[in-house]
Amino acid sequence: MIFLRYESPKEYIRLYPVTTIILLINIALYVAMWVVGSPYDKDTLIRFGAHVNVAPFHTELWRYIAAQFLHIGFEHLLFNSFSLFVFAAPLERLLGKLRYIGLYLGSGIAGGLLSQLLSKGIVVSAGASGGIYGVFAAFAYLSWLRKDLFDQATRKTVITILIIGFVYSFMPQVNLFAHLGGFIGGFLILHIMLYMRHR
């Protein structure tokens, strides 16, 4: 089962360097927000690059990348870091570093775009959830079209995380549109990648 993490820290860094870098950036920015303010404070989040769906912030394109590495509180950081550590790492090995980072960031951008378009009122949002749901979508895609890649335990785990992720997306204070956009983005990006590779 590919989601069991049995590597030592040294092995994990060697096998999953991109995921390791993403995790370290997330943690570093979380600490930096505490140094200058608070990750719960909207002004601090906006200063570091969180999405804001009103002028003048909604046209600042750099936020579509920066917001993916920010987290609103320790629980938010912990949940997303766990998902990256366990579930995203094997996708890095399956796709390769460049395709993986393209899918991850592209899914995050798609989540940010959908959130900006559909959120009502003034919404400040941040987090790795768009990229993570893109990862979930990639595993759903591969489990559906490439059943030879995974054993039965892995396929069952994919179904379980999709169900849990779907239910969690409707919890209060959770950005449903970012999750949905990330999932759709991840599915489409992987489809395009595999099509181009086949060509």
Domain assignment of residue 2, yes or no: no
Domain assignment of residue 54, yes or no: yes
Domain of residue 34 covers 9-198
Check the CA dihedral 120-171-144-141 and report its sign. Answer: positive
All residues at 6 or more sequence positions from 50 whose CB lies less than 8 Å from its CB, including other chains? 42, 63, 66, 67, 70, 124, 125, 126
**Which residues are catalytic, by number?**
129, 179
Domain assignment of residue 117, yes or no: yes
Domain assignment of residue 57, yes or no: yes
51: phi then psi, degrees, rounded to nearest 5: -70, 140
Confidence of residue 177 (pLDDT cuts 50, 70, 90): very high
CB atoms within 10 A of CB 3: 15
Domain assignment of residue 82, yes or no: yes
Separation of alpha carbons 75 and 93, rounded Å: 27
Q: Mind listing the pLDDT tens digit for each residue in 57-82? A: 878 999 999 999 999 999 999 999 99
Domain assignment of residue 93, yes or no: yes
Separation of alpha carbons 70 and 39, rounded Å: 8
Domain assignment of residue 114, yes or no: yes
CATH number reported for the structural domain that contains residue 193 in this entry: 1.20.1540.10
Domain assignment of residue 3, yes or no: no
Least confident of 55-69, 104-118, 120-134, 144-158: 144-158
**How high is the pLDDT of residue 101?**
97
Q: Please count the structural domains in the chain.
A: 1
Amino acid in position 172? P
* DSSP class per residue in 140-155: HHHHHH-GGGS-HHHH
